[in-house]
Chains A and B, each alone.
Chain A
Amino acid sequence: MNNNVIDRSKDITILELLDRVLNKGVILTGDIVISVADIDLVYLGVKLMLSSVETMEQLKSGRSIST
């Protein structure tokens, strides 16, 4: 199957998804926009970072992260 090459690991997918939805896309600026709960978003970012480090460690040790 060709699609085997696409990673379907839940951890990687969520990490990639959150990276995009929190950091990318159209950015609204100015007085028409109110940023939502900055502290929580930063906290979420830290959790993401930790998750990312764990993933890297898994890869480094050669363990499979695919489901």
Chain B
Amino acid sequence: MEMMIYSIVSVKKNTKKLDALLAGIKGLSNTDLYVVTLDEIAAVVSDVNRADLIVDKSSAIEYAGVIETLAQQFTLLPVRYGSVMESTDTTKKMLERNYNEIQCNLLKVENKVEYGLKVFCDSEKLKTELKDKSETEPAIELEQGIEKSIYSKYLYKKLKEHRFEESLLAHIDAIIQNITTHLAQLNSIHRFKKMVTETTIIDVVILLKKNEKEGLIQAVKELQIQYTGLKFVLTGQWPPYNFVDITIK
């Protein structure tokens, strides 16, 4: 029988607590959850018949719910939805082959949780503000010798656009720098992508000790006060999905 694998849990040679927790929750399609254990780690799995498996949004949410419940009591590595193992034997061999790497990852996320922070802007409003500001700056002077012709007008327009783009990027970089500096003070690990879309200035994932949540909330509050024109959206806490650096063979 094939099995759906939900997560790899640090059990430290004691699976009783995990067994007790699993007795109270169900896997996909109301299946029983059980563990495949190897020394200090355990894979949480449920039997699955691929022919009967419905892959849809609610199934993915249900799957995430199992991981969420486990993460409340254990240090774990979430496994991506849709991962099916052939048997208990192959699962055990997989744990064996990757044992050290799994342990390293578990150690990295021990007693920590993930948060997501997205910062949105009204890009049109931001551009207008910067344009207004640029109007007050000295006009661009073209090099001497360039005649005031249709070409020089075109050149002037392009230079102005270039200058504006530069100031926009510099402004956004300064915001990102400020945000990441605030986050760095929290003793957290964070990764970010900048300008994911025209309205998303920064998309950050943060790995933080469980008891340092209030510090993060305070930092985001301060940033929100500082940048009233931006919208800060903080989500979490999440199991450490974004901090698992492992591709299992």
From residue 28 to 56 of chain A, which have CB atoms closer than 8 A to chain B? 28-30, 32-37, 40-41, 44, 47, 56
Instruction: List A contacts of B5 (CB < 8 A).
Output: 28
Q: Is B94 an interface residue (CB 8 A)?
A: yes
Complex Cα spacing A17 to B67, Å: 11
Chain B binding site: helix, strand, loop or mixed by DSSP? mixed
Q: Given contacts A27-B247, A29-B249, A56-B199, is CB(A40)–CB(B55) below 8 Å?
A: yes
Residue of A nearest to B43 (CB): A26
Count residues of A near B (Cβ-Cβ below 8 Å): 36
Size class of the B contact interface (CB-based, 8 Å): 35 or more
Task: Please tell me if the beta carbons of B55 and A25 are within 8 angstroms of each other in the complex.
Answer: no
Q: Is the Cβ of A32 less than 8 Å from the Cβ of B86?
A: yes
**A2 and B94 form a contact (CB under 8 A):** no
Chain B window 42-58, contacts with chain A (Cβ cutoff 8 Å), 1 for yes, 0 for no = 00000000100101110
**Nearest B residue to A48 by beta-carbon distance?**
B57
Residue contact B231 to A28, C-beta cutoff 8 Å: no
Closest 6 CB pairs of A and B: A24-B241, A25-B78, A20-B241, A36-B82, A40-B55, A37-B55
Known: A22-B80, A32-B94. A16 touches B63 (CB 8 A): no
